[in-house]
Structure 1
Amino acid sequence: MRSEVVVRRISGAIVRRQLRTHLAGIDGLHHLPATGSFVLVPNHRSYFDHFVMELLVGAAVGRPVWFLTKQESFEGALSRVWTKAWYGIPVDRHRPSPATLRAIQTVFAADEVLCVYPEGTRNVADEMLPFQAGAFRFALTAGVPVIPVALTGTESVLPKGSRRFRRGGRVRVSFGEPILPDMSKGKQHAAQQLSADTRAAIIGLLSTGCRAADGPATTGAVDDLVTAALDPEGRLAVADERRLRFVLRLLSSSGVRSVDLEVQRARLRGLAILRRPAPLRALPALSVRRRLERVLRADPANSLANYLLARWHLAMPAVLGGDPALAERLFALSARTAPGGDTRALAGLAEVQLADGRVEAAQATLQRIADTPAVAGSRAEARAARARLQLVTLADVVDPSQAGVLA
């Protein structure tokens, strides 16, 4: 095992604990793209900024966050191992070398994330330092968005020049909306405008402060992150489950109290159970049912909780409490309260209708899925494509009992 991997694993356990202890607020999590590369552009007051960006953003999107790091950090043996362990890319701050540019291209080619501190160094003053152009030129060349980030309180956890974490510091992080360059007036003007827009966005986030991250945007972001991590068969890898559980723990540690987060915990638990052999699923699945029923007692109209409980009743045998009729009612309730574009419950409803031989009802439901606008490349788009294919198949069915079940 390479030395930097060992260093990252050992130090990562310590730093994750520090992040959970000190993180007091997360805002704008929904602005992080679930797929594709982007450039994080935060203000910079502490080395702890690295850990916040790497651990929080890396856990959220499931890809490493790379940092442009001054060349001097790679000169000593120990410093070099540490910097590589935390995804540092050596850079001459005045003139990036071809090797640096190739490393950045590799990051973007792998759909990973680049973090660049535009101030160029840790800043102890109240006002931000002038921005350097590198971050914005890299984003322009790669054609990826810039995500402005406002960090506060990191200097109280790990002050400049200190190697020890301090107690009591409270860190808040706010992600701004993705900023895409306007290339209509040329690359140089686009870089200048991108820099100015990003600086203004960070100043705005700092002045506004981190709001309580317990609204629909945050919980919707978590739902999107979990959905993006699923494979085509709807399974979740162990590594993805672990990182997403860490995101939920960070949100809870930062003060988020939401039934929607409890639904996501139940969802992750259910996805973990699906990795077990079928005979070993029954008893753990009962605990998922209890969690979802507890949520629905507090929030009867929770769309995702109704959907997941419907899936539970559809998957479990009657001897363990499975009830297809109840599943249909829960799917219908979930479909009525689902956010726009979310057709998961409709797909479940069509599945029940087909299994029961009600082809005309299923066709109407499938048509609703097919007609719902979907983001290109999303699971909703794939679901709409399957619905259209199923409609063609059903149109040729003479005997309704021969109709297939929507996957």
Structure 2
Amino acid sequence: MAHCRAIRLLLSIFFWLFFVLSSTVLFLGAVLVWLVTLPFDRDGRVLHLYSCFWAQLYFYVNPLWHLRVDGRERLPWRGPAVLVANHESLGDILVLFGLYRPFKWVSKAENFKLPLIGWNMHLNRYVPLVRGDKVSIAKMMRGCEYWLSRGVPILMFPEGTRSFDGQVKPFKDGAFTLAMKMKCPIIPVVLTGTARTLPKHGLVLEAQSHCHVQVMPPVDPAAFPDVPTLREHVRDLIIAEQARLDSRASAPPGA
């Protein structure tokens, strides 16, 4: 056990050193991509895809992390959609960049203050949110409506914050209100295995993490009478799919 902890500690040190050094270099690359593409890519689609590579690089180089993405073909390259995902870990952000499709994040405003990572979020014009602040929430909704009107999907965590026990928390209305108002589909995205990527407390990485992203079929909000009905339907879909994926992951080989 002590030997395993020592190996994890060593890998964690190398990982975080690589993270800091690579982020410095990759942010400079992001500035260059932003400058070159700004005249013809007003929505920042190319920069977002570059950011996807930046985030996925840490899966490519980390032998402890493995990622599988299914259903990516259900996501639009162009056209409005509201993507909603369950939220277990900070690692969810790295994992969801693995979708490699254009979208704008809705993220906590404090994340935009982070060196390098937060600066890149500003370049990408992701949408900041101060939780519990009515003015910020209204501004966030207007920002999301703007991007949806331009045919750019947005991605939100409808739980509002991370789940500490892996159970899907109650959903907030925002994503579903947007989908109904803008008459665009909701696309549920289910994450499993991400809780073991980046720990909430401490910097030592867990043992191997096998992450799975499942993109589910789009849900048409026009088929529902109101926001609460749509919200609970999508939450039920995510809970059921998460349980199915967890069951499959824990089943013995060949079962």
The bucket for the TM-score relative to the shorter chain is 0.5 to 0.7
Q: Does 1:37 align with 2:62?
A: no
Name the one with the larger strand percent: 2
**C-alpha displacement at 1:111, in angstroms?**
1.6
2:122 pairs, out of 79, 84, 109, with 84
1:205 pairs, out of 241, 249, 254, with 241
CA distance in structure 1 between the aligned counterparts of 2:141 and 2:116, rounded to whole angstroms? 24
The equivalent residue for 1:300 is: none
The equivalent residue for 2:41 is: none
The 1:132–1:3 alpha-carbon spacing in structure 2 relative to 1, beyond 3 Å, is farther
The 1:74–1:143 alpha-carbon spacing in structure 2 relative to 1, beyond 3 Å, is same
2:210 pairs, out of 140, 147, 170, with 170
Contact 1:68 1:88 in 2 (8 A): yes
2:106 pairs, out of 68, 87, 103, with 68
Letter in 2 for 1:205: E
The 1:35–1:205 alpha-carbon spacing in structure 2 relative to 1, beyond 3 Å, is same
The 1:79–1:175 alpha-carbon spacing in structure 2 relative to 1, beyond 3 Å, is closer
> Which structure 2 residues correspond to residues 1-400 of structure 1 after superposition, within 5 A?
5-6=30-31, 15-20=55-60, 22-54=65-97, 56-57=98-99, 59=100, 61=101, 63=102, 65-75=103-113, 80-84=118-122, 88-94=126-132, 95=134, 96-162=136-202, 168-182=208-222, 185=225, 190-209=226-245
The 1:76–1:30 alpha-carbon spacing in structure 2 relative to 1, beyond 3 Å, is closer
State the secondary structure of the residue aligned to 1:147: strand
CA distance in structure 1 between the aligned counterparts of 2:53 and 2:79, rounded to whole angstroms? 27
Contact 2:88 2:163 in 1 (8 A): yes
CA distance in structure 1 between the aligned counterparts of 2:114 and 2:58, rounded to whole angstroms? 26
Letter in 2 for 1:133: D
**C-alpha displacement at 1:136, in angstroms?**
0.7
Post-superposition Cα deviations, 1:9-32, rounded to whole Å, max 9, x if no partner, equal: 997655323334633433333432
CA distance in structure 1 between the aligned counterparts of 2:161 and 2:152, rounded to whole angstroms? 23
**C-alpha displacement at 1:78, in angstroms?**
5.9
CA distance in structure 1 between the aligned counterparts of 2:178 and 2:160, rounded to whole angstroms? 15
* Bigger RCO of structures 1 and 2 (CA < 8 A, at least 6 apart): 2
Q: Unaligned regions of 5+ residues in structure 1, if any?
A: 213-407
Contact 1:181 1:193 in 2 (8 A): no
Letter in 2 for 1:202: I
**C-alpha displacement at 1:201, in angstroms?**
0.7
Cα RMSD of the aligned pairs, angstroms, is 3.4
Letter in 1 for 2:127: I
Look at both structures and tell me which one has the larger radius of gyration over its CA atoms. 1
CA distance in structure 2 between the aligned counterparts of 1:131 and 1:27, rounded to whole angstroms? 23
Post-superposition Cα deviations, 1:276-329, rounded to whole Å, max 9, x if no partner, equal: xxxxxxxxxxxxxxxxxxxxxxxxxxxxxxxxxxxxxxxxxxxxxxxxxxxxxx
TM-score scaled by length of structure 1? 0.43
The 1:200–1:87 alpha-carbon spacing in structure 2 relative to 1, beyond 3 Å, is farther
**C-alpha displacement at 1:91, in angstroms?**
1.3
Contact 1:118 1:132 in 2 (8 A): yes
CA distance in structure 1 between the aligned counterparts of 2:224 and 2:216, rounded to whole angstroms? 23
TM-score scaled by length of structure 2? 0.66
State the secondary structure of the residue aligned to 1:170: strand
CA distance in structure 1 between the aligned counterparts of 2:172 and 2:184, rounded to whole angstroms? 18
Contact 1:48 1:155 in 2 (8 A): yes
State the secondary structure of the residue aligned to 2:212: strand
CA distance in structure 2 between the aligned counterparts of 1:141 and 1:47, rounded to whole angstroms? 30
Contact 1:27 1:210 in 2 (8 A): no
CA distance in structure 2 between the aligned counterparts of 1:10 and 1:67, rounded to whole angstroms? 14
**C-alpha displacement at 1:6, in angstroms?**
3.9
CA distance in structure 1 between the aligned counterparts of 2:240 and 2:168, rounded to whole angstroms? 12
State the secondary structure of the residue aligned to 2:208: coil
**C-alpha displacement at 1:100, in angstroms?**
2.2
How many matched pairs? Answer: 203
The equivalent residue for 2:39 is: none
Contact 2:30 2:120 in 1 (8 A): no
